[in-house]
Structure 1
């Protein structure tokens, strides 16, 4: 699970100008977003060690391009249909927060990889897959696919597949086990506690 998120982060932070920069296309949207993030980091290198500002950067520049409602719905699976609107909102909120924390945690861990962005593969008028090939410093080559859907005229990612392993599917297994043991509210509580613990650790490190 952590490897999936780390590779996703590496893609987002290290993408060079290999795709057409047109936000109306799924691959172009990825390129434009990355250029914005890289420009900010290059102008202000101190941001990498500032947890609060990193959270703001990730939340403002990267995550708006993900469809978290659909991602969470797919990750939770069948129990989503029996969850109340309040529970669904809470699940989306905590799932989103979890990914924000993951991004900021490994933000400065990896050097810029070499990334090749393939042309988007249109599956239908409103669904597309964007394949990327990542080459990291130790010689590894990793394939990452963004599953994108066009919503209200814009493209958003609803799943990420790393070397054939789906992020959503991976979470679905752990979420299913948690729901089976403690129910929807129990899953929400677990995610909330993990997010709070991560926040407390980050705050303690900053004070230290």
Structure 2
């Protein structure tokens, strides 16, 4: 499980992405998708850079942004893939809870690293009939800028991030492979992944408290 949090800020948090397989979505408007990413990015940056609040309060602020921007259940179900069908209802419920907590903790554990983060919008383009690709450039103090592409789709009548592409790599597909690997190494047992996720959350919480 050591690789599950390796990408840091927007890679981990916006693993955000990964919408699950669902009925056909409405076509996403380019302008609306761009404005959505602009607003969501500004909200995240403001929460991360807000030193007037303690860590717990900032984490809750970030959690609110993520819950609004992401279909967390859809994200989690896509990433777990075929193993969702073999999990018990209790395991499914715990997995989704742990998945959301992992996203939030991955961000809050890195508040210090990303203090002063900024972003700007790049090119927006229609990717398919039902999603749009929005490019952003992320800047941190004392670090080289890097590019993230956000796939935005219409889910339930609202724009949502459905994937993030970093350095040409789909983060939802990478995470899906990592989660599946944990389960496969443990004879197809969902319980093994849940245990690993609990351990990861504990590590992230300790890291947050130790700063």
Do both share a fold (TM > 0.5)? yes
Corresponding residue of 1:57: 61
Distance of 1:139 and 1:188 partners within structure 2: 34
Higher relative contact order (CA 8 A, sep 6+): 2
Q: Which residue of structure 2 lines up, in the alignment, with residue 5 of structure 1?
A: 8
Task: State the distance in 2 between where 1:60 and 1:194 align.
Answer: 21
Greater share of helix:
1
Q: TM-score, normalised by structure 2?
A: 0.74
Helix, strand or coil at the partner of 2:148: strand
The CA deviation at 1:163 is 0.7
**Which residue of structure 1 aligns with residue 167 of structure 2?**
163
Question: Secondary structure at 1:131's aligned position in 2?
Answer: strand
Q: What is the alpha-carbon distance in structure 1 between the residues aligned to residue 11 and residue 184 of structure 2?
A: 29
Retained in 2: the 8 A contact 1:67–1:156?
Answer: yes
The C-alpha deviation readout for 1:149-200, integer Å capped at 9, x for no partner, is: 2111111112211111222122222211211133112111211232134335
1:139 deviates by 6.3
Gaps of 5+ in 1: 12-21
Is 1:118 paired with 2:122? yes
> Counterparts of 2:13 and 2:200 in 1: how far apart (Å)?
23
TM-score by length of 1: 0.75
- Which structure 2 residue ranges, 5 or more long, are not aligned? 15-28
CA contact (8 A) 1:75 1:169 kept: yes
What residue number does 1:17 align with?
A: none
**Quick one: distance in 2 between partners of 1:113 and 1:202?**
18
* Residue aligning to 1:172: 176
Alpha carbons 1:4, 1:162 under 8 Å: kept: no
